Amino acid sequence: MPEGFALGEHHDAGLAYAALAMAVAVRGGRDAIAGVILHTDQGSEYTAGRTRAACDRLGVRQSMGRPGSALDNAVIESWHSTVEFELRRLERFATKAEARTKVAAWIEEYNHNRRHSALDMLSPIAYERRHATPDDPPEQAA
């Protein structure tokens, strides 16, 4: 099952929108994401009109943590720490294109292979597959 992400020069509503659009596209469009909840912090990129309008248009329900509370975002904060350490501190990129390519490959490997204690020691993709509902579309063979 593919994931959605976006890379850009600025962390803003445009980047949040691009990540949401990619996630919808790779999962098969609006009908394939019915009932999805997008949980974020209270950042301006997620509260912006553009992001809210996109969620409304796509039928995505927004969920946000309380201001000043990192507890409900602990898993993603851990992910940010890991990507920062493994890519920003251990890797050196000669160009922006190289950085984009390596970050995309890292995310793909992470989602398919990295096991998490918060996910019953499964990778994110394996966990999602385990908890898919019978109404979910069948997986495509790789």
* Per-residue pLDDT of the chain in tens (142 residues, 90 and over written 9): 447 788 888 989 999 999 999 989 988 898 888 888 888 888 899 999 999 999 999 889 999 888 777 677 777 778 888 888 888 787 888 999 998 899 889 888 888 888 988 889 998 889 888 987 666 554 443 3
pLDDT score at 141: 38
Radius of gyration of the chain, Cα coordinates, nearest whole angstrom = 16
Does residue 128 sit in helix, strand or coil? Answer: helix
**Cα–Cα distance between 56 and 96 in angstroms, integer?**
33
Residues of the chain with CATH 3.30.420.10: 1-67
SS3 assignment, position 131: coil
Question: Which residues sit opposite 83 in a β-bridge?
Answer: none
Prediction pTM value:
0.74
DSSP state of 90: T
DSSP, residue by residue, 41-56: -S-HHHHSHHHHHHHH
For residue 39, the Cα-to-chain-centroid distance in whole angstroms is 10
Q: Three-class SS of residue 21?
A: helix
Q: Can you list the alpha helix ranges (DSSP code H) found in the chain?
A: 13-26, 44-47, 49-58, 74-83, 96-113, 124-130
| Residue 26: Cβ within 10 Å count | 14
Q: 1-67 architecture in CATH?
A: 2-Layer Sandwich (3.30)
Confidence at residue 135, expressed as pLDDT on a 0 to 100 scale:
61
